[in-house]
Structure 1
Amino acid sequence: MASTPPLVHLISVLSLLAPMLAVAEDLFDQDQPLPEILSATRLKQSPAAVPGSVSVIDRALIEASGARDIPELMRLVPGMMVGYAKGNEITVNYHGGQVDSARRMQVLIDGRSVYRPGLATVDWVDLPLAIEDIERIEVFRGPNTVSYGANALTGVISITTRSPANSHGTRLKYTHGQRGIDDWYGSQAFSSGNGDFRLSLSGQQDSGFDRTDIEDTYRDSRRNTRMHFSATHALDDSQTLDWQLAAKEGSNQKNIYSDEEALISGIVPNGDTNRDLKARDYSASMRWSLDTSSTHNLQIQAYAQRWERVQEFGICDLALSFTPEVAALHRLNPDTLDTLSRLLRRGRANLINELITDPEQNALANTISSNFSSVGGEFKAPVCGKINNNINENRYDIELQDTLSLSDELRLLSGVSYRKDTADSQTYFQGGLQNEVWRLFGHLEWHLSEHFVLQGGSMFETDTLSGDSLTSRIALNYLITPRHGIRLVYSEAVRSPDMQENNVNWSYLIENLNPNLNGRDSAYYYATAQGPGNLQQEIMRSREIGYNGQFDFGLQIDIKLFNEEIHRLIAEPLDITEFVQNNDNYMWFRGAETEVDWALTASDRLRLTYAYVDFETSEKSYQRLTARYSGSAGYLRDWGGGWSSSLFYYGADLLNERRFERADLRIAKRFNFGKSDLELALMMQQRLDDEALTWRENLYDQRRMVSVSAQLEF
């Protein structure tokens, strides 16, 4: 006897519960306006009708959290994992992944992607945006390739900045605290003619972690200054024009503590301990919107941005490391070269024939050993020079979007876009590399009845470097009332291999050699890496059952059950000494998430999140930033008389095999001086565990951090 599909069972249960649940519609005041989700499908939708889970971090929550960085705000999102490679290197992964990279989530600022095309990452500490300029953040928790393209494999973080029209006046803010915190912010917003304008200038700095686990001083501070100019024009009753300019300049400290990068450590002196990264970001964007009628809207958005990264430093190694035999052995088997270097370092060259049995590798190993042990010692002499990790990346994007209400029950969104990415680096690509992407997308929302909403979306992409792809999503939302909905979602998504994974031509040219090598003042280092060039796109299949409820007494609840599978996973570390990229891995996640946001009274707000993630992966390093249990709790209180407070708890059982627990307290007092307001705030973070943060080297001297801020508005 054939079994009944689970979907049929669920729909049957819903049909039986519908008459009882519909009674709830009469228990509350239904005249209050529904909140809106703006970015999930590019259509404005009520939370109950969205085909997926969305977390909203509003302005009040941003201020109450006391966060200085967007990644810290992501701790408020269920299932989001925040990791620190260093104090100035932060990663954000939804459900998990590698600690030192996050390549599968799209990040947008007012619709502009800040996902770097060449090295495929988001530089969270280098975004040209102050947290004071953010109005709200919507996080779509799940694959959303159908709306935002191939990088939106696991989710989308959509950041909306404050409108100039709603932020008139002057704002000045200064924050100072432990761990070298010294931030400043100033903005001026005004009207002129048919436009509203805001100019923001800001700076941010801190000293990062205090020390490593072997008591070395940690050079991981950051310093940056930012400019953000935003303008909006009401051209007439049916047209608006918005445009922005942004720039950022700063430096992030980098260093190395030993000569461990040398072919044979302990033989040559260290290179530079100062390997600071200079970062400059520039962007310009424009959005034109036209309402041709009450049921039809056209929108054109275009932007250009540039990332500049300069990192140059001195390095020393043996003359031996520049010989063709060492380069050939590394190409054959980097592990064999590593074995040989250990034997030579320990004076055990007599074990070469025993441990290195492959004939070709054995012959090279013995030649290298003979050179190393030569009487003249010329190959053991140190050679020093200059090396760089410089890269410039550019992105140009233009998009046309059409939104049409075909009837009261049917809405169609469609669009087309073109994007060009370029990367220029002598080290990573031996020059320049470019990619072009065309996209055609659409989303259909059909209200089958008062209670059922059927939605479908698709995205077709043609990518010069990765080929063509077609992804889709289908969802059925059962609206118990307009404020309460149960959703069933099936999505397929892809991620295109990035330039570094698939197309890298990675080699280091050492210049200004001292002494010269056979009369040459430059030479290539032995370690090189070549991208395979034929990597396939990663594929994700996601199934979700969820509930979203908006109660009129201030309670909002979202519950999600999920099953996500990623196939053809590109998971090998991006390490030049062992670069083996392939599609041989997989990863799946199953679990549950919940989010509760409750305005208990006009003065009290409670927010709770929890995520349980069961996972399996063929790549061990991908288990490290996946916490099986994680969550947060926050309580916001307005005490009256200008006093307010907020208390947050964040916890995760294992982040890179380390427990994380922290409590944050913020107390603020606002003073009114006629047309001016002054707010003084105290912020305290208290670690509740004794672990390093993500990596064992990431240690603070004190588990407590205190900072103060003053903000003046007039």
Structure 2
Amino acid sequence: MNYPCLSHFPQFLLVLSLSITSSTSYGYNETDLFSDIPEIVSATRISQNISEAPVSTTVITQELIQASGATDIPELFRLVPGFQVYTPNANKYAVTYHGASGEFPRNLDIRINGRPVYIPLLSTVAWNTLGISIDDIQRIEVVRGSNVPSYGSNALMGAINIITKTPIEQTSHQLTTTVGAQGKKDVTASFSGKANDLYYRVSLGHEGNKGFDFQKDGENVNLGNLHFIFTPSLYDSIDFTVGFNNGVMGIGSGDNLREYQDREHFSHFQYLQWNHIINETHEINTQLYHNYLRLETKSFNASELLNDPGLANLNAQLAFLAATLGSNYPFSSSHVSDFPVFSSAENGSTQTYGAEVQHTYSPNSFFTLASGLGLRYEKATSGVLLGSDSTVDEETYFFFTNAEWKQTDRLSWNAGLMSEFSSITSPATSLRLSSNYKLNDTLILRGAITQAYRTPSLLEENNKSAYIFPEGVPYDFISLPNDELEAEKLNAAELGLFWSLHELNGFIDLKIFQERISNGIDSWFYDGPIDLLSIAQGFRDEVRELRNASNRKSHGFEIQASIKPSKNDLIHFAYSLTKISGIQRRGELARKPDRTYDDSAPRHTGTLLLNHQFTNSLDSSVIFNYMSDVQWRDSSLIESYKTTDFKITKSFPTGHGQKLTTSFLVKNLFDHKYSQFQTKNSYDRRLYLTMKLNF
């Protein structure tokens, strides 16, 4: 399905905005628009005005969050050009940039207040294990493009930094409840206070729903976090955050309920940050953190899955085979015993420890240098994904530096470098060079080139999956590790134009990009070692290993616009045109042909948000979303869809310093049926009611 009106929308947006704006000049600039967040740090680790960032960046403000109609954190990224959000299961979200992803996107670095939450055991982020709710978020900074020179190899395609509300920012207590479609019942509560120089904020929550109809993929999750800020002096600030998340979520695929299972999880984190201002030119930031996650699904005995009580039939066949083949018998035993088999690969535990020190040096208003070093220790245990109950680990040491040089009033330069040294992979150094040129008071031209590397994750280096009886007899080899895996390489270039619309209190940001990924890590299939399944089938069964087997390139265009044509109106627009091509070599087996990337990213994605404030206590939003056809990795072809959401919010004063806010949200207002990732993940019209009490 085509959506031709999007191609003309930038012109329409500008004409519409001008038509509803008076001739009065408000004299605003992009800093005024983001008055509560005048600067960003995620792109270069240096505080910069959004118009002067060296790469394309989107800031999801508190105002956008409230107007968006998002009920879960990942839904907010539909506001970002080039980002796609989809659901392999009702409560399992996937977030990617420029497509080419599947159930577990792996090319984005996700952080919360600067703390990485990337899971080495899964090579992705599990969004429902973060320990925060959407009510905890103050704003989100999104770097649209490789940010390896600042954040490391996980940020190959981009980076997200979720910044939560601090005890200083939240001046009241808050209680929120949401009920609605799919049996959704969410409750969150937060409390803040102060004791001398110590500020604190406590947040607790419960999230639950039943998932899709006729599927067993609901969730039941409890979460909480505690945030302290201690300011012993004017030059020191100490942040300490702890949190947890535990619960159960349904996962699976197929047309039979037996193909779904509950996945239990338990996670917790600790994060300490100390910021010390030495003097006007020197500043030190130190971070320490620890993340823990345990995943578990139900297990079954092998005899149950083989429908062979006591494995009597299998042992009889093994005895016959051993007697027949004699010395040519390929296995270590002619008798096997029962053992537990997990129903899903999402099993195991993982921990990450990290430390980082950054020094920011700014001798004058023209030059700033942010340099530092750090280490990260990851370890994981998973009999399903790693082939044994032994622990595998990795140590990574890294050094980074980013420099900003304002050569003239019009011309500025940014350069970034990240060198990573791993205990299990080869060293990698990533570079970025960019320049901003101010054409006039409203137009800034931006150009950037990046060469970045993504080193293999702990899972990719150690992935081994097989069904092997305790006696060492293999039933089925699924995947084996590859000791020669190399880093993926990205070469990217972008040209951008930032247009400040002072009269409209906003901006338009345009981007043209080209990306090429070589040495991509993907599955390679070949005839595996002899196992029982091969003997039963009469031919060698395939086995998978990860190799540098794919290459792809993409190019396209992005636009984002945020304007406030009046004090009561907000317009946010995000659109991306992406063309992708490439090939994944999958081995020499005829039954596993090579695959192309041609349909792995939607050609068009677009979001338009319109918010109007009728009075100080009443506002409404209309949100349009569109995504064209896409073939996600290991999924069915998903046809294009468009949705319209409507949200209306009313606030009522309930007493001295108290306020009750009620929101009614209709998602997919016109009931256009559509699917995400799998055709059975079908969405129709959904209704939600949210009530929030501030006291």
TM-score between the two structures when normalised by the length of structure 1: 0.81
Give distance in 1, aligned partners of 2:420 and 2:280: 31
Contact 1:625 1:655 in 2 (8 A): yes
Q: Deviations over 1:78-131 (max 9, x none)?
A: 111112211122211100112212111100000011100122110012221110
Give distance in 1, aligned partners of 2:190 and 2:394: 37
Unpaired runs of at least 5, structure 1: 1-26, 211-216, 260-269, 327-362, 369-377, 512-519
Give distance in 1, aligned partners of 2:604 and 2:93: 21
Tell me what 2:490 maps to.
Answer: 540
Q: Which amino acid aligns with 2:429?
A: L
Give distance in 2, aligned partners of 1:103 and 1:523: 34
Tell me what 1:234 maps to.
Answer: 231
Give distance in 2, aligned partners of 1:677 and 1:452: 48
Specify which structure has the higher proportion of strand: 2
Q: SS of 1:583's equivalent? A: strand
Q: CA RMSD in A?
A: 3.0
Structure-2 change in CA distance of 1:594 and 1:56 (3 Å): same
Q: Deviations over 1:201-223 (max 9, x none)?
A: 0111122221xxxxxx2111111
Structure-2 change in CA distance of 1:188 and 1:316 (3 Å): same
Residue from 413, 418, 425 that aligns with 1:454: 413
Structure-2 change in CA distance of 1:549 and 1:679 (3 Å): same
Q: Deviations over 1:531-555 (max 9, x none)?
A: 1121100000110000112322212
Q: CA deviation at 1:255?
A: 5.2
Residue from 66, 84, 92 that aligns with 1:63: 66
Structure-2 change in CA distance of 1:178 and 1:28 (3 Å): closer
Give distance in 1, aligned partners of 2:469 and 2:164: 44
Structure-2 change in CA distance of 1:678 and 1:493 (3 Å): same
Tell me what 2:544 maps to.
Answer: 579
Q: Which amino acid aligns with 1:663?
A: T
Contact 1:67 1:73 in 2 (8 A): yes
Q: CA deviation at 1:71?
A: 1.5
Contact 1:307 1:394 in 2 (8 A): yes
Q: CA deviation at 1:384?
A: 8.8
Q: Which amino acid aligns with 1:456?
A: A
Q: CA deviation at 1:650?
A: 0.5
Which of the two has higher C-alpha Rg? 1
1:598 has 2:563 as partner: yes
Give distance in 1, aligned partners of 2:152 and 2:660: 44
Structure-2 change in CA distance of 1:383 and 1:692 (3 Å): farther
Structure-2 change in CA distance of 1:250 and 1:488 (3 Å): same
Give distance in 1, aligned partners of 2:31 and 2:70: 30
Structure-2 change in CA distance of 1:634 and 1:510 (3 Å): farther
Residue from 581, 601, 604 that aligns with 1:629: 604
More displaced, 306-315 or 499-508? 499-508
Tell me what 1:670 maps to.
Answer: 651
Q: Which amino acid aligns with 1:403?
A: T
Unpaired runs of at least 5, structure 2: 1-24, 33-37, 319-324, 529-541, 585-594, 632-636
Residue from 491, 511, 528 that aligns with 1:560: 511
Residue from 477, 487, 490 that aligns with 1:527: 477
Tell me what 2:267 maps to.
Answer: 281
Q: SS of 1:285's equivalent? A: strand
Q: Which amino acid aligns with 1:699?
A: S
Give distance in 1, aligned partners of 2:687 and 2:293: 33
Q: SS of 1:540's equivalent? A: strand
Q: Which amino acid aligns with 2:556?
A: G
1:296 has 2:246 as partner: no
Q: Which amino acid aligns with 2:667?
A: Q
Give distance in 2, aligned partners of 1:225 and 1:432: 28
Residue from 665, 668, 682 that aligns with 2:664: 682
Q: Identity, % of aligned pairs?
A: 25
1:205 has 2:164 as partner: no
Structure-2 change in CA distance of 1:641 and 1:93 (3 Å): closer
Give distance in 2, aligned partners of 1:597 and 1:550: 10
Residue from 501, 511, 517 that aligns with 2:460: 501
Q: CA deviation at 1:587?
A: 1.1
Q: Deviations over 1:415-446 (max 9, x none)?
A: 00011000012232211100000000001111
Residue from 447, 454, 467 that aligns with 1:488: 447
Give distance in 2, aligned partners of 1:705 and 1:602: 31
Q: SS of 1:698's equivalent? A: strand
1:710 has 2:691 as partner: yes
Contact 1:98 1:623 in 2 (8 A): no
Structure-2 change in CA distance of 1:290 and 1:481 (3 Å): farther
Give distance in 1, aligned partners of 2:428 and 2:252: 41
More displaced, 535-544 or 247-256? 247-256
Tell me what 1:266 maps to.
Answer: none
Q: Which amino acid aligns with 2:507?
A: Q
Structure-2 change in CA distance of 1:487 and 1:526 (3 Å): same
1:588 has 2:553 as partner: yes
Q: State how many pairs are aligned.
A: 613
Q: Deviations over 1:278-310 (max 9, x none)?
A: 111100001000111112110101100101111
Give distance in 2, aligned partners of 1:157 and 1:645: 27
Give distance in 2, aligned partners of 1:581 and 1:448: 46
Tell me what 2:348 maps to.
Answer: 391
Tell me what 2:359 maps to.
Answer: 402
Tell me what 1:423 maps to.
Answer: 380
Contact 1:87 1:208 in 2 (8 A): yes
Contact 2:671 2:685 in 1 (8 A): no
Q: SS of 1:74's equivalent? A: helix
Residue from 153, 156, 159 that aligns with 2:156: 153
Structure-2 change in CA distance of 1:80 and 1:281 (3 Å): same
TM-score between the two structures when normalised by the length of structure 2: 0.83
